Amino acid sequence: MGDLLLALDLGTTGVRALLVEPAAKTGALVRGRRYRPLPVAFPAPGRVEQDPEVLFSRSVEVLSGALAEGGAAASDVAALGIATQRATALCWDARSGKPLAPALGWQDQRLATGIRKLREAGLPLSTQPSLAKFLWWLEEEPAVQAAARAGTLRLGTPDVWIQHRLSGGAVQVTDPGQAGCTALYDPSAGDWASGLAESLGIDLAALPAIVPTAGVVGETAPGILGAAVSLAARAGDQQAAAFAAGLRAPGQAKLTLGTAAMVDLHTGARPATPAPGTVPLPLWRLPVGGESHCLEGHVATAGAALEWGVGLGLAPDVPALERLAMHVSDSAGVVAVPAFQGLGTPHALESARGLIGGLTRGSTAAELARALFEGVAQRCVDVWEALGPSDPVLRADGGLARSRLMLQCLADLSGRTVEPAREVEGTALGAAALAALALDPDGEPARLGGPGEPVEPRMGEDQRCAARARWAAIVPHRLREDAP
């Protein structure tokens, strides 16, 4: 066994793998990387599905590709860490190992009516947690109902499915961070909420065992990658990114800039009282230090708002959109509120809709492009301020953290130094760092990514306050479906 680390980052629209060589001075050297897109189906309004077999096959493809690019074999790898999209639900049969239905994406809304009934009964649930999808299958899917009666039904999030398949069916586990995204986790017990599960007709035997985030639980079947590799870590994508960003103490936070944007605030060993529009979640359970928790806030449409601008024809791709936006020093009064999928934290206003305003006959494509970047940054600062981290800097990772314009907008509007990660694929590096911790539980947790070049605010405080006040006058009351 070598000392290399493999990391898998299974997202919603793509999956990537990194082959990482830990290095004491530089944090990490990425020797190989591979990415593949993932198809997402929208069979009807409010329905979001993915093929479980494609999630697995493309995961294997990128893992093998990262090894090949790095000139390594599976036998050179000490451990594999896995980070995945959360709240997406999968179901399969324990005897055959085959999926019983398409995976239901975390955005799937098909149980909205049933969830309203549960809310009326006193359960503060939404359609996003995996529990909503589990309940829909048990009510509507004959194959799932039959497996439940036979005692062979297995339910889980993508981390459970991928570890199960990579191990040849030998491993069915999750960690507290992923379990917390199901709405079935009891943080006081550190285990499944058995009473809630029983009351909803969910057999605990169908759920995975809850294990530490960092810890070897088995190994990949030798024939999948060419040799057995230890399954050493499993985490939700945002939790893995938080680990890579070095969140080790209460008050620290990070911002992940992707299709959506997520802010996670470390709140300590116990769940915190949620701020408006935020969700309390477990961060991780480590070999030393036990369980930590966070508050999470989100911007529903971040990078996707820029992709909308590309689709509108403003530029051929997002880098070109950034270059266009930098042709002007400001948006000249043009405002873009990226509420295409509602407003997240702190408003929690699902009925909100996007807004483009302040247009004149003299408005240009460059000003609209700049307004899109500024609008995403404004929403990220909304979330950051709602959570109120004590961090003196704003730590940022994710694909959109490559954009210097986005980082500058964040610095100007927050009044803070923005510290981008040196390697923006923080989710994958977090998975690798957790795998390294599993191999050396008494060692210092690695921050494999490390900080990149900081971005300082250029906007004066009076100008910043004025820009934030103008934004607050627009959001959220102008964005309701019934707004005049």
Name the nearest CA neighbour of 176 among 165, 161, 189, 167.
189
Over residues 285-313, mean pLDDT: 94
pLDDT per position as a tens digit, 141-178: 999 999 999 999 999 999 999 999 999 999 999 999 99
Domain carrying residue 94: 4-238
Claim to verify: residue 183 and residue 86 sit in the same structural domain:
yes
Claim to verify: residue 166 and residue 94 sit in the same structural domain:
yes
The answer to whether residue 280 sits within a structural domain is yes
Claim to verify: residue 310 and residue 458 sit in the same structural domain:
yes
Is 120 a residue whose pLDDT tops 70?
no
Assigned token pair, 374? 């500024």
Which residue among 209, 238, 267 closes a domain? Answer: 238
pLDDT of residue 25: 44
The answer to whether residue 428 sits within a structural domain is no
pLDDT of residue 469: 95
CA distance 77 to 68: 12
Assigned token pair, 107? 């955005």
The answer to whether residue 68 sits within a structural domain is yes
Which long-range contacts does 403-408 make (Cβ < 8 Å, 24+ apart)? 403/318, 403/322, 403/373, 404/322, 404/455, 405/322, 405/325, 405/326, 405/370, 405/373, 406/257, 406/322, 406/373, 406/376, 406/377, 407/455, 408/455, 408/458
- We report the CATH number of the domain holding residue 168 as 3.30.420.40
For the chain, the average pLDDT equals: 91
Claim to verify: residue 195 and residue 342 sit in the same structural domain:
no
The answer to whether residue 431 sits within a structural domain is no
pLDDT of residue 450: 63
pLDDT of residue 289: 85
Claim to verify: residue 252 and residue 212 sit in the same structural domain:
no
The answer to whether residue 433 sits within a structural domain is no
Claim to verify: residue 382 and residue 233 sit in the same structural domain:
no
The answer to whether residue 443 sits within a structural domain is no
Claim to verify: residue 151 and residue 264 sit in the same structural domain:
no
> Which 3 state secondary structure label does DSSP give 340?
strand
pLDDT per position as a tens digit, 368-403: 999 999 999 999 999 999 999 988 899 999 889 999
pLDDT per position as a tens digit, 182-226: 999 999 999 999 998 998 899 999 999 999 999 999 999 999 999
pLDDT per position as a tens digit, 6-34: 999 999 889 999 999 986 444 568 999 99
Give the number of domains in the chain.
2
End-to-end CA distance of the chain: 65
CA distance 380 to 82: 27
Which residue among 238, 262, 282 closes a domain? Answer: 238
Claim to verify: residue 252 and residue 297 sit in the same structural domain:
yes
Claim to verify: residue 281 and residue 223 sit in the same structural domain:
no
Please, what's the b/e burial string for 368-405 (b: 16 or more CB within 10 A of its CB; e: otherwise)? Answer: bbbbbbbbbbbbbbbbbbbbebebebbbbbbbbbebeb
Which residue among 238, 262, 278 closes a domain? Answer: 238
The answer to whether residue 448 sits within a structural domain is no
Over residues 95-100, mean pLDDT: 96
Claim to verify: residue 250 and residue 184 sit in the same structural domain:
no
CA distance 143 to 92: 9
Contact 412, 383 (CB under 8 A): no
CA distance 200 to 469: 46
- Residue whose pair of structure tokens reads 């709140």 in the numeric block: 267
Is 5 a residue whose pLDDT tops 70?
yes
Claim to verify: residue 278 and residue 154 sit in the same structural domain:
no
Claim to verify: residue 207 and residue 75 sit in the same structural domain:
yes
The answer to whether residue 440 sits within a structural domain is no
